[in-house]
Structure 1
Amino acid sequence: MCRWLAYSGSPVLLADLLFAQENSLVVQSRHSRLGVEAVNGDGFGVGWYGAQEEPGIYHSTEPAWSDRNLREISGHASAGRVFAHIRATTGSPVQQTNCHPFRHGRWLWMHNGAIADFTLVKRDLTLEVEPALFPHIEGSTDSELFFFLALTYGLEQDPPAAVARAVGFIEETGRRHGVEHPIQMTVATTDGETTWAFRYSSEGKSRSLFHNTDVSTLRLQHPDNPTLQRVSDDARLVVSEPLGSLKGAWREVPESSCLVIRGGQEQMHPFSPSPAPSPSSATATS
């Protein structure tokens, strides 16, 4: 399906995240170790927070390993919060508007997984989107529609509750259409200050997701590692698969969980779908 990473901490060059690591995201685009597909070559995207109120994004339909502009930009741009995603399409076209991360205002969103039998449920899901939000949908993926369902249910006010309602509605809709396991997901979203990462699937066998252990502890264990010496103590990474084999560096995010990262603080909470409210009570902002 896809691979992604979410970074927060002291500003780092995008190249350090995308190219420099043993199992970097660009390496994973050709040789994923834990993904459903070994190759994720159907485009990529990077989102980062810099000088403007809204995050910048760069999308390309080229494979990440062969895009010269990505290597050029990432060697010069740095940021303290970065989302990056490499894509393996589950059926929607390879086009820039279908590349993650998706953006709405200050919010970024990316997804690994799929809404099962999307063509069967797409109409019902689309009609649930708040009318004021609907014109902002640019592509044709299940992932972007999932984002706008979460926005419809109040992502900007309460992300865990909104995602739980969106997942609840997706499951309810899928099962009404005879879909046994309606959703498979690892999701990351951020407003530029906090990152929320979710791991869940209807069948209880979710795609892989990891987060790094405390940087200050790792520095003591690995004093010769240059990357660890450069980043701040509050640096945090959430990744589809570990970026390297450094002993003790990675912990798996448990099944059916929501990881919340703000500054150097992180909290793990159980995650489960909840019944979606009626459209009239859903909250959204455009």
Structure 2
Amino acid sequence: MCRWAAYRGVPIFLEELVTSPAHSLIEQSHCATRAKTATNGDGFGLAWYGDRPEPGRFRDVLPAWSDCNLKSLASQIRSPLFLAHVRAATHGATRRDNCHPFVQGTWSFMHNGQIDNFDRIRRPMEGMLDDEHFHARVGTTDSELLFLLALQFGLRDRPIAAMSEAVGFVEQISLHLTGTARIRMTAAFSDGKTLYAVRYSTDEHAPTLFAAPMGPKGSFCLVSEPLNDETDTWVEIPAGSAVILSENGLDAVEFKPEAERTRVDQARRPALATA
């Protein structure tokens, strides 16, 4: 399972999440405490927003703890909204195209978790994409494909609803082709203005997600596991929740995939029929 951290608020240096805390993201890359595997050494990535609408991005396949460029960038880049990720591969080879965050236009996305039976349902998932989104795919992970599906379903206009429909569609395909559906995930995504995150699982084993205020009022970070031992600071986000971080602060709403909605079912039926 991967580890990630995201921030929205007054501009801060990336190192305040990535390298400086006692249990920073780099520390979690080789000593995670709330994951199935302690080591997340299959690459890392950063996406940050600045003066331009599109995010900057840096990714590599080296373990985060061994890359001096990551430490240097984190100490020099200051941003009001950024995503950082260390990878433990479940689907897809260890290569730069498979490292998170993924970026399309102004949107960035990163993911922790897995989609069971991905090899059996990948083709109908890809078949749901139009040409624009299909040709935008450069890696081989379930994470990137889920991101592209959410974009296909309207992420740019209705982020939480589109992600809900994308996850519900994957569940529907999996049930249709394998008789079971198991998805465990946390994900963070942003358009550079608002930061969104979800925590969800089809069973009782959703990956962990925590939130904490950071600095001035209205600034928050979201993390796979706390960055320090100040237990009173960190609030665990309940499973089945979506978090919205905007200029109005933090809000949480229910996240429930819409696999049974008639409109979704009718729109996606051709992909299921050809699987």
What is the CA deviation profile of residues 12-35 of structure 1, one whole-angstrom value per residue up to 9, with x for unaligned ones?
111221110011000000000001
How far apart, CA to CA, are the structure 2 residues paired with 1:199 and 1:69?
31
**Mean CA deviation greater in 61-70 or 182-191:** 182-191
1:267 equivalent in alignment to 2:251: yes
Secondary structure, aligned partner of 1:113: strand
1:264 CA displacement: 4.9
Give the counterpart of 1:242 among 215, 218, 226: 226
Secondary structure, aligned partner of 2:132: coil
The percentage of counterpart residues that share the same residue type is 37
Secondary structure, aligned partner of 2:162: helix
The answer to whether the Cα contact below 8 Å between 1:46 and 1:83 also exists between their aligned partners in 2 is yes
The answer to whether the Cα contact below 8 Å between 1:235 and 1:264 also exists between their aligned partners in 2 is no
**Mean CA deviation greater in 82-91 or 269-278:** 269-278
Q: Which structure 1 residue ranges, 5 or more long, are not aligned?
A: 216-230, 281-286
How far apart, CA to CA, are the structure 1 residues paired with 2:173 and 2:131?
19
Tell me the residue number matched to 2:178: 178
1:162 equivalent in alignment to 2:162: yes
Q: What amino acid sits opposite 2:244 in the alignment?
A: V
How far apart, CA to CA, are the structure 2 residues paired with 1:179 and 1:70?
43
The answer to whether the Cα contact below 8 Å between 1:137 and 1:145 also exists between their aligned partners in 2 is yes
Q: What amino acid sits opposite 1:188 in the alignment?
A: A
Number of residues of Structure 1 aligned to a counterpart in Structure 2: 265
How far apart, CA to CA, are the structure 1 residues paired with 2:192 and 2:200?
23
Tell me the residue number matched to 2:113: 113
User: What TM-score comes out, normalization by structure 2 length?
Assistant: 0.93
Q: What amino acid sits opposite 2:250 in the alignment?
A: E
**Mean CA deviation greater in 8-17 or 271-280:** 271-280
Tell me the residue number matched to 1:15: 15
Tell me the residue number matched to 2:152: 152
The answer to whether the Cα contact below 8 Å between 1:233 and 1:264 also exists between their aligned partners in 2 is no
Q: Which structure 2 residue ranges, 5 or more long, are not aligned?
A: 270-275
User: What TM-score comes out, normalization by structure 1 length?
Assistant: 0.89
1:87 CA displacement: 0.2
How far apart, CA to CA, are the structure 2 residues paired with 1:250 and 1:264?
20
1:51 CA displacement: 2.4
How far apart, CA to CA, are the structure 1 residues paired with 2:179 and 2:54?
37
How far apart, CA to CA, are the structure 2 residues paired with 1:264 and 1:40?
34
Q: What amino acid sits opposite 1:258 in the alignment?
A: A
How far apart, CA to CA, are the structure 1 residues paired with 2:227 and 2:10?
18
What is the CA deviation profile of residues 45-66 of structure 1, one whole-angstrom value per residue up to 9, with x for unaligned ones?
0000012220000001000000
